[in-house]
Structures are given as C-alpha cells and as structure tokens.
A and B are shown apart, each in its own frame.
Chain A
Amino acid sequence: MAPVAEYEAACLPELLPLYYRRLFPFSQYHRWLSYGGVTKNYFQNREFSFTLKDDIYVRYQSFSNQNELEKEIQKMNPYKIDIGAVYSHRPNQHNTVKSGTFQALEKELVFDIDMTDYDDVRRCCSSADICTKCWILMTIAIRIIDRALREDFGFRHLLWVYSGRRGVHCWVCDEAARKLSVAARSAVAEYLTLVKGGEETVKKVQLSDPVHPFIKESLAVVRRYFTDYALVGQDIMGSKESMDKVVALVPDDILAALQAEKNPTKRWEKLKVIVQQKQASSKKSYYTEEEIMLQYCYPRLDVNVSKGVNHLLKSPFSVHPKTGRISVPIDLRELGQFNPFDVPTIRSVFGIFSDYKRTSLAKYVKLFDQFVEEMERSRKGELLRRTDLQKDF
C-alpha cells in the first residue's frame, strides 16, 4: 500500500495558514508545556525551532505566553515545528547571555522509533516505506517500551505520537523524567536496548543466563505477535534467501533439515525442535529461538535522540512535510486498531479531495486534552499530598 499519492508539499503554503488558524490545539499545547506554572518561566524558557519554506531553519524561538506563540506560528506558518529543552534563559535572548551560562536545564525524556532501523529484518518494505504488515513492529515497540517505562521506571505520563511517516515518538512528561541528566537518559536507553550492531553484525541479539526480568517481559510481548508478524506476514521461513538470514543466527548448519520441511510455519517448529535437541545434550543454555524472535521484532531505539537534554524533536500536531500527515497522539487503548494510513493529512483534514471523506482531528485533540488533564490532576494530587504531609508537623 503506497502512502498518500496525491499529496505534495506545494499545497502547504496554502493550507498551513488554515491549519494554524483553525485546527492546531494551542490551548492544550500551552497547558501541556506550562506544566501547571509550577516552575517560573518554564514555558518562556522553552526552545522551539521552525522549519520554514525553502528549508529555512530557525532555532531558539521562544514565547512569553500562548498568545505570542499563536501569533508567531500563524505569522511564520512553519512547515515543521520542533520542541527543544527548557533553558536557563529565554532562548530568543541567548545571544545576550554571558557565554557559558546559557544552558539546557530540563526536557521530557523522549524516544524515537524509526522503521528504517528495521530494514534488515523486514521484507515487505524498505527505507521510508511502511505498510500494515510491518506496522506491527511499531505496535510491538510501543507495547514493550510503554510497559518498561511505566512498570520498571515508574513513569506515568507518556504521550505516544505518530511521527507522520515511518515511526513513532514517545514523550515522557513526568517531572522526574524532565529532570533527568544526560547520563540517566542514556542509562534508560541502554537498559531498553537489546538489538546491537550495524551492517557488519549478523547476530544482533545475544542472551545468556540469567535472563533479566525485563527481557522476559519483553519476550512475552514478542511471542504474542511473532507467529502472525514474522512467520505469516513477513514469511521469514518462506524463501531460501530469507531463511538463510534466519539460519545465520543459529549456531549450526541446519539449513538442509529446514528446507526438507515444505511448510514455512512448520519449519519454525522444526527449528525449535532441533535447538531443543542441542540443548538437551549441552550444559550451556541455548536461547536461539528467543534471540531470533528478538532480532526480528524487538524495538530499535536511536539512543542519541534520548540522550541529549537539548535534543530537538518534532512536535505533536506538527505536519510531516513529506507526507502531509499530522503527527497525532496514539490511543494505546486502541493500539491494535491504529492504522497510519487513516491518520488525517493536511488536505484530508479540510476535506480537500473527494475520494477520501473528510477526516477529523477532533478525536486526536481529545486524546491530547485527556493527557494534559491527567497530568494536571496528578499535579494537584501531588500538591495536596505534600501540603498534607507538612500539616502533620
């Protein structure tokens, strides 16, 4: 299935002004980034960057309040909006600040999962292309990372956003997350990393005893999807070439034995049996089956995106200039039904062409609204809890 064929960036100058005047949820956006106004100047010291027409890129944009933000965006009509860190001073005045004192202080913990990073393990598409078959990888990624961030790290306010083309982003907005150091961010990202190695590495996942509880949990998720995704959808055991890649991950030469079995799904069963036999006659642990599953399905993060406090990431509700799709929040309660091809584009949102019915941004704005409200509720609760504690003395 090809991405939206009719869209062209040429329509942006005409449609963006409409979008920013009528649909962009400025109110919730401002509420989100103000975080209840608890920290002084938190919104004012936030860096935004805009990509304008003709690839002009401007950094260190900052705004005093929602009104200024609206006016400026409606004036500039950026093709793309990025959100950066909260700095020690207003970013738009950073040149007036004494060298060395202008510093990035806080930012949400973010993750960027990009389908291109899975090119070596998907057969249906490559590079910037996606389809419903490989989109399952994103579903798996979201389930695994979301669980880990909540259950292992205790984070509660996570916003998952469709990037608009080939991946998803996660914004972890808890106060503790925003205050994390570079070292802490990289530690979390590494904790979540299981697939290692680039072009030259064939076997990218190695497991050994003992298997950490986190890996066990992640495997449980992968197992649920593996058969449908890898064996059926990607048909990894279906051709010699594809099987070769799988077998390359297995300790011994069992290709012939597998080829003898004609049914691809049965081949996988056969592989498991052979590995079990090896296991029975050996002292060390074989995790071959698990390693293959993880290599084909486990999320691949870009650690560099997560590490930097000052890293700029595409804003929710920004438009993707190449596809026209709007970066909308993803509802995890209906994750299985999420279809990136149903996401509104800058054209469909205005009902521009007749063969698609007009799509609405409403449900996504509502989702966003709920997210912001949940944070506000939680903040109030925390405040009450703290004042209660104080009252006890």
Chain B
Amino acid sequence: MLFGGRKKKGVENPQTELYGHCLQLYTQPPLENISLVEFEQFAVDRMKLLKTVENLGVTHIKTSEDYSKKLHAEISSLNFPHRTEVSTFIVPAVASEYEKRRKDHISHFILRLAYCQTEDLRRWFIQQEMDLFRHRFNDLSPKSKSDFLHRNSLQYETISVEEKKSLMEKLINSSYAFSGCTVEEQDFYKVPFQDALDLVRMRKVFVKDGFAYVPHQDIVTIVLNDYRTRLSKALALTARSLPVVQSDERLQPLLSHLSHAYVGQDYSIQKNIGKISLEQIDSLSTKSFPPCMRQLHKALRDSHHLRHGGRMQYGLFLKGIGLTLDQALQFWRAEFLRGKVDADKFDKAYAYSIRHMFGKEGKRTDYTPYSCMKVILSNPPSQGDHHGCPFRHSDPELLKQKLQSYKISSGGINQILELVKGMHYQLACQKYFELTHSIDDAGFSLNHPNQYFSESQKLLTGGKEVKRELDSPRRPHAAAGSENSKAPPETPSSSNRVPQEVMDDLDSFFQEE
C-alpha cells in the first residue's frame, strides 16, 4: 500500500497537527485521558450519526442532494466536523471546530471497541463508516481534497502532460464522463491496479502496465478501498485486545450496552403506566403491536405458555406499553394457568421472574424493553421459540404466509420481502407499519417495538392520550373462552417436568445482563 506514515514535524502542538483537516482516516488512536461521561456521550452521539447514515442510505440514493442535505444536518446537529474552508494556519481558526474534530476522532475509536466483536457488527460498522466518509470526502472542496490526499501521504504520481497527451484517446474512452477538455483539465493519478479494484473490475478506468489511470474525480473510490481494508484489519486487531478492555469494570457495561444499544428513547420510563387494560391487549395486538410482539402474543394465547426468550421479549414490551406489575402478574398467571401450570407453581416460579423484570427481585435492575437491534442481533430463536424478529428470523415463505394472514396486499408483501432480502429488517417492519395503518410514510425511523406501539397509538387515537382505565378485577377473557382459571388436572409426569424447566429458566435469568 502506498499510503505512507504520518510525517513527524516539529510542530508545537502535535494535537493540532493531528486535527489539521476536518477529515481523517483514523490511523492513530487517541492518546489523551478522557472522562467516562465524555466517553459515553461521544460514543452515543456517533452511534446516532451512524444510525442516521444507515437509514438515509436505504431510503435515498447516496449521491443525491436530498441525502447530502439530510446527512449534513445530522452531522451538524450532533456536533461533528463537516466541510470547512481549509485554514492556512496550523492552529484551526475556531476552537469549537477543534473540539468537533477531536470528538470525531475519539468517538470512532470508542465504537471500534463496541463493534469489533462479531462479523455482523463489524460489517455494519464498516459499511456506515464508509458511507459517512464518502459523503464527507465528496463534500470537500477540490483544494480540500488535494490537501487531504497530501496529508495522508498518498504516493500516487500524477501523470505528466506529455504522457496524458499520448494517452489522450484512451483516457477519453475509458469513462463516459470524459471529453477532451475534462481530461486535459484534471489530474490523473497512476495507481497500482490492486488499489483500484472497483474501477478496474468494471472497466471504468484505463489500465496499462499494471497501473490504473485514475482521474481526480474518482480518487474517492481508491481512498475508500484503502479505508475499508484498514478498518477491517484494525477491527480484527481490536477484537483481540478486547478481553483486556472488557475487564475494566467501568467500561464493560458501557461497551456492552453500546453494541446492543438503541439510540433514542429506551422506554424504561413508562409514560402510560396503568393506562392499558388487560382486555385491550388482544385487540391492541392486531392493531398496534409490531409483528414480533403480535406473534408472541398469539403464541402465548395459543399454547398458554412462552419459553424464556419469549417471556423476556414480550414481558418487557408489555411493561413498556404501560402494564403495571400487578397487571402483568394477572395477565401471565391467567394465561399460564390455562395451560399446564398450576397456581402454586406459577406463584413460586414464574411470578418471581415477572417481578424480576420489574426490578422487584434479585439484582433489582429495572430491565429495559428490547430495542429492534437487540431483538435482531441477540439470542436467535430455536425450535419452539417465538421470539426474535419475524423479518430477520422467519423463513421468507413463512413470513409471506403470515403477512397474507394479516391481510397485507400482495404488492405490499413484495415490498416487504425485497427489504428483507436486502437485510433491512427494521425498514421492512416500518413498511408493515405503513401498510397496516394505510399511510405512505411512517414519519419516524423504527428502532424499537415500543416506539412502534406508541406511534401506532398516536395515529389511531389522533394523538390523544390513551384513556386511563382503572385496574379492573380479573375477569374471564372473552377471546380465550374459558370461564375459570382452573387448570387441567396434572399428571404425575408433567408435574415432575415443570419444576425442572422453571429452574432452567431461572438459571438463565442470572445470565442476563
């Protein structure tokens, strides 16, 4: 690779030399001390930015003006550096610009820690960082671009005027953006073909003697290629050092949270506590629940049971939509008792875990409802499970059938399946939202099942608050059809089985974060 190392000059403030350009390749890790507060804030902000990059990247063409404008707005609002006039002074003119560049630098490295662990995470991180880089690079003025190439010691030679003349016809014919004058005006770089694979592969560039003749306007592709290779290697290295980092108790929860984190409202503070009555749940499940929760609810109603993963995902969701602890206990107890569990067993074992969810037992952590990212990335469902994200975890054929049973139009189903094929699971869910609510644009970026619920309720109730209902005494549920909570008589074998399963479930609680 022909990217040379940073030249060490005798400048007074090495830090300002590091931040001499608004864009960088993150080759040097930050060396300063930083507070935990800043650590977390920087990381969360960058994550918000990358999330926006992801969302915009799917809904817009990446080179469109609309995309650029929106991304630019997000970059500004989160206080990251963006296109600035390159100052001829060594010290950047504005102190806050320096701060922005420092934040850019540090936040990138923090997120490396959070996103190096699995192939999925790495792929996601690299993709968004590359898109972000491409946007920022393309946004630079030509002089700024040259400055960047210079600072990063790009040792690609530009070809001489004579050589350009002799190759004129070939250069013109190697890209349709060219005419005689554009070739004359631009610099052409001689880049080893291995560094310009994307251009070579598609014959978008003239190749001679092992060199690709890359016009200045295409140099971003080369830089991106290099960036991706570096980042990929860096993440692999980072993953190896991770155990050391994770053993630091201050950082471990933060990093763990980051890689699963939802950036936005976390629905741990329920605004609508006690505003949902248990009777409403069946109808709410078809109208306002996202498919993952609708599926769990139905499975619960059908088999009067859910396994641990499902109980966590659904139970926390219900907490998030406003169920109180008492309501939750009622709800689960009623359903489980219709199944194989008797009252005694329920009170001894399952009730504990529900109270646990509400922070009334054990570690007394008030668990937060799972975000989409967490549902999609962690704990994939196995045989007998109903949790997870249907768009991610269901076989496409089955998903199609399910959507048909939900009366989604076939056109809509195709759109959803396309998104699923492109691995845009949250967008697929968003599309489902739009189709089931008969609107064109959801108006929000879906990140959390509880967000789905509250947005849905907003639409359906015209923005009015959910009518407050008193906790009503337990009444037999019409849909379930049974009058009493009498469980079927237990056979000796099943009464032996249940406790063991419950014990296993409890065990897994203590493995929860």
List residues of chain A with CB under 8 Å of any chain B CB. Answer: 151-155, 176, 180-181, 183-184, 186-188, 190-191, 209-216
Contacts and interface: CB of A to CB of B under 8 A. Distances in A.
A187 B170 contact: no
A213 B176 contact: no
Nearest to B205: A212
Contact of A212 (B194, B197, B203, B211): B203
Nearest to B193: A153
Contacts of A188: 200
B337 interface: no
A214 B207 contact: yes
Contacts of A214: 203, 207
Contacts of A180: 194
Contacts of A209: 176
Contacts of A190: 201-202
B209 A154 contact: yes
Contacts of A155: 210
Nearest to B211: A154
Interface residues of B, number: 21
B262 interface: no
Given A152-B209, A191-B203, A212-B203, 12 more contacts: A151-B208, A152-B207, A180-B194, A181-B194, A183-B197, A184-B193, A190-B201, A209-B176, A212-B206, A213-B173, A214-B203, A216-B173
B172 interface: yes
Interface of B: 170, 172-176, 178, 193-194, 197-198, 200-203, 206-211
A151 B198 CA distance: 20
A211 B173 contact: yes
B16 to A, nearest CB: 33
B113 to A, nearest CB: 22
Contact of B174 (A181, A186, A213): A213
Contacts of B176: 209-210
Contact of A191 (B172, B175, B194, B207): B207
B172 A210 contact: yes
Nearest to B203: A212
B226 to A, nearest CB: 13
B201 A187 contact: yes
A210 B174 contact: yes
A213 to B, nearest CB: 4
Contacts of B202: 190
A187 B197 contact: yes
Contact of A153 (B173, B174, B207): B207
Contacts of A186: 201
B209 A151 contact: yes
A51 to B, nearest CB: 34
A210 B173 contact: yes
B299 to A, nearest CB: 39
Nearest to B196: A187
Given A153-B207, A213-B206, A191 B201 contact: yes
A184 B194 CA distance: 6
7 contacts: A152-B207, A176-B194, A187-B198, A190-B201, A191-B201, A210-B174, A212-B173
Contacts of A151: 208-209
A181 B178 CA distance: 31
A176 B192 CA distance: 11
B203 to A, nearest CB: 5
Nearest to A194: B203
